[in-house]
Amino acid sequence: MRFDLLALSAFAPLVAAHGAVTSYIIGGTTYPGYEGFSPASSPKTIQFQWPNYDPTMNVGDAKMRCNGGTSAQLSATVQAGSNVTAIWKQWTHEQGPVQVWMFKCPGAFGASCKGDGKGWFKIDEMGMWGGKLNSANWGTALIVKNLKWSSEIPRNLAPGNYLIRHELLALHQANTPQFYAECAQIVVQGSGSAVPPSDYLYSIPTYAPQNDPGVTVDIYMSKATTYTPPGGRVWSGFQF
């Protein structure tokens, strides 16, 4: 009997080749992230500490926000209009979108800035291109290749304390979406005054329903030639 290896891969068990953001490059400075496999050796970091590399499987899970992390000891200063680059030590899944979100803290970092409420806005994303779901034409394929992702902080974003959240959604297993998200604390500087309109703001978790087509798509069986990442539109920083 001949088996279709491609079809079988849709039902393969979860594997251990997961990943997470482990450092950031901001303004030419490298900021170490959290070392989930060796927490005792982790330095002080701008990143919310997370417990493991395991994926979050449901958009309503509390781990969706920052992979279970709730606090960090440090923060990094970034000029509006400059880039934040996230670094992964490993990533193996080529099919899925990359999304980058921010959240403006109501005050100081700490207990009052954990990302609660409808305040998250998307500043960057890359889904699929080329019209073929079962391909390497995905944002996460670029992570496999480069192990980094750079996003520009909106040029006219109002200064203040923010969380930045990098999310990879792995779609290589049919009907088994795997979310990997980490958060870090940044202080945005600049002379801008822009804030995202309310229709760009979301709560995390639950920025999209579990049955959102961008979450449930079967890249092996679907005939779709386009893909829309879950969670609404990217906000470029312009006022409307």
User: Which residue type does 146 have?
Assistant: N
pLDDT in tens, 32-65: 988 766 666 778 899 998 888 889 999 999 999 9
Residue 96 pLDDT > 90, yes or no?
yes
pLDDT in tens, 212-239: 999 999 999 999 999 999 999 999 987 6
pLDDT in tens, 192-209: 999 999 999 999 999 999
Q: What is the pLDDT of residue 36?
A: 66
Tell me the average pLDDT of the chain. 90
Q: What is the pLDDT of residue 7?
A: 39
Q: What is the pLDDT of residue 43?
A: 84
Assign 178 to helix, strand or coil. Answer: strand
Q: What mean pLDDT do residues 92-106 have?
A: 97
Q: What is the pLDDT of residue 35?
A: 74
Q: What mean pLDDT do residues 115-121 have?
A: 97
In the Cβ-directed half-sphere of 75, how many Cα atoms lie within 13 Å? Answer: 18
CA-CA-CA-CA dihedral for 13, 17, 20, 26, to nearest 10: -140
Q: Are 17 and 90 in contact (CB under 8 A)?
A: yes
Q: Are 174 and 219 in contact (CB under 8 A)?
A: yes
Burial class (CB within 10 angstroms; exposed 0-12, middle 13-18, buried 19+) of 193: exposed
Q: What is the pLDDT of residue 12?
A: 38
Which comes out higher in pLDDT, residue 70 or 4? 70
Assign 110 to helix, strand or coil. Answer: strand
Q: What mean pLDDT do residues 125-154 have?
A: 98
Q: Are 55 and 18 in contact (CB under 8 A)?
A: yes
- The pair of structure tokens assigned to 95 is 């099919």
Nearest to 94 by CA among 58, 65, 137: 137
Q: What is the pLDDT of residue 238?
A: 74
Residue 143 pLDDT > 80, yes or no?
yes
Q: What is the pLDDT of residue 52?
A: 82
Q: What mean pLDDT do residues 167-187 have?
A: 96
Q: What is the pLDDT of residue 10?
A: 39
Q: What mean pLDDT do residues 17-36 have?
A: 89
Residue 2 pLDDT > 80, yes or no?
no
Residue 5 pLDDT > 80, yes or no?
no
Residue 83 backbone phi and psi in degrees, to 5: -100, 150
Q: What is the pLDDT of residue 37?
A: 64
Q: What is the pLDDT of residue 1?
A: 36
Please confirm whether the linkage preceding 205 is cis (ω < 30° from 0).
yes
Q: What mean pLDDT do residues 103-129 have?
A: 96
Q: What is the pLDDT of residue 17?
A: 53
Residue 8 backbone phi and psi in degrees, to 5: -65, -35
